[in-house]
Amino acid sequence: MNSDLKYLKRALQLAAYGLGQVSPNPMVGCVLVHDETIIGEGWHQQYGGPHAEVQAVRDAIGRGNEHLLAGATAYVTLEPCSHYGKTPPCADLLVEKRLQRVVIGQGDPNPLVAGRGVARLRAAGIAVEEGLLEEEGAELNRRFFTFFGQKRPYVILKWAETADGYLAGEDGKPLPISGELSGVAVHRWRSEEDAILVGTTTARVDNPQLNVRRWAGRNPVRVVLDRRGSLPPSLHLFDGRQPTLVLGYQRSSALDKVPARYLDSTPHPIAYGRLEPGTHEHEIDQVLHQMYLRNIQSVLVEGGATILNAFLERGLWDEIRRCQSTQKRGGSIRAPLPQGTLRAHEQVQEDLWTYYRKSGA
């Protein structure tokens, strides 16, 4: 393997440590190399925290390698930023430390940066090579690229079905389908996405909390579709413990009963997003757009059948995670038919998980 690729792959490995910690920022890694030796490395560890390049420079300094930065090569998985955001521009830092060469995995689609980071480096006389690790980077940051490329969050559909293909029992009540370890995996997945979405029936019948309890990680934004604003205020969803977005054609009457301190306040606001009746826009497009407007880059759709099928019919989804138990239980609500390209099977205790990607993706 050529050594540029070798160091970029190392940087990508570091970037991946940011999963579940950095969104809506991308996962980014950086490796600094002098004379075929790594003198410092780092990754973007936390949303709002220092970027990968800053971490790597600090690491080099901490190791007593500051004098080696001038003339070194920086390997960064994403184009170094050029804007004053939560932190000053990384491109400026690389210029200031007099790096000689910068090798970049792929460009940054964020309009605040796109191309400007590279232009700034070149203007300072730094040799820049771009686009050496696009495919792997696009896979790692698929949420971030979908958000900027398609102007909607990345959509993961998740459901658990019985061996005979049901989502819910005869009475419409949830069935205990997946086992202990599958439950832990689902909580880990919740911590990896910006939002979880459920439909009205699931909210009413299951009364879910939609938080991360069985894994140490961030809570996602809860999003609930409440078309006619009919959900009762007693639901966990309205407890103000987590940011919550209620989407409907009518403002939910539950919102009038929610204590004022929860409504559009920090840290845990409950917000209402209006869906417009009678527009040509499909409901699912509107649901995703409301999330896009709030900078939500990914969403785990946890049911029920109506909303899962709506996403499938509209073709607006990116991944499916389907859990099949070994037990037949009979039921009333049939599980959706998965589509797309089968990527992997995973046996988790008694459960078989199957992962699909949209064909062509």
Binding positions for NADP(+) are 160, 202, 304-310
The one catalytic residue among 41, 53, 193, 319: 53
Closer CB to Zn ion, 108 or 239, in the complex: 108
CA distance 40 to 62: 9
Q: Is 85 in the site for ligand AOF (CB under 6 A)?
A: yes
Answer with the entry of ligand AOF, Zn ion, none that 25 interacts with (C-beta below 5 to 8 A by kind). ligand AOF
Mask for 270-309, x = binds ligand AOF (CB under 6 A): ----------------------------------------
90 Cβ contact list (under 8 Å, min separation 6): 51, 52, 53, 54, 76, 80, 81, 117
Beta strands 341-348; 244-248: pairing state: unpaired
Q: Is 80 in the site for ligand AOF (CB under 6 A)?
A: yes
Active site residue 53: yes
Secondary structure (DSSP) of 144-162: HHHHHHHSS-EEEEEEEE-
Q: Could you give the 3-state DSSP secondary structure of residue 191?
A: helix
Instruction: Mark 52-71 as b/e (b = at least 16 C-beta within 10 Å).
Output: bbbbbbebbeeeebeebbee
Closer CB to ligand AOF, 34 or 51, in the complex: 51
Comparing CA positions, the residue from 139, 106, 149, 178 lying closest to residue 319 is 139
Q: Which residues pair with 355 in a beta bridge?
A: 321, 344
Q: Is 86 in the site for ligand AOF (CB under 6 A)?
A: yes
Measured from the CB of residue 85, what is the shortest distance to Zn ion in angstroms? 7
Closer CB to ligand AOF, 151 or 345, in the complex: 151
Instruction: Mark 237-253 as b/e (b = at least 16 C-beta within 10 Å).
Output: bbbbebbbbbbbeeebe
- Binding to ligand AOF in span 16-55, by CB under 6 A: 25-26, 28, 44, 51-53
Closer CB to ligand AOF, 83 or 322, in the complex: 83
Q: State phi, psi for 323 to the nearest 5 degrees.
A: -110, 125
Mask for 25-64, x = binds Zn ion (CB under 5 A): --------------------------x-------------
Q: Which residues pair with 300 in a beta bridge?
A: 156, 196
Q: Report the residue closest to ligand AOF, judged by CB.
A: 85
Answer with the entry of Zn ion, ligand AOF, none that 26 interacts with (C-beta below 5 to 8 A by kind). ligand AOF
Provide the CA 57 distance to its chain's centre, in angstroms. 27
Which residues are part of a known binding site for substrate? Answer: 190, 206, 210, 213, 302
CA distance 349 to 292: 36
Closer CB to ligand AOF, 195 or 301, in the complex: 195
- Binding to Zn ion in span 73-92, by CB under 5 A: 81, 90
Provide the CA 139 distance to its chain's centre, in angstroms. 12
Active site residues: 53
Residues that bind ligand AOF (CB under 6 A): 25-26, 28, 44, 51-53, 78, 80-81, 85-87, 90, 108, 110, 113
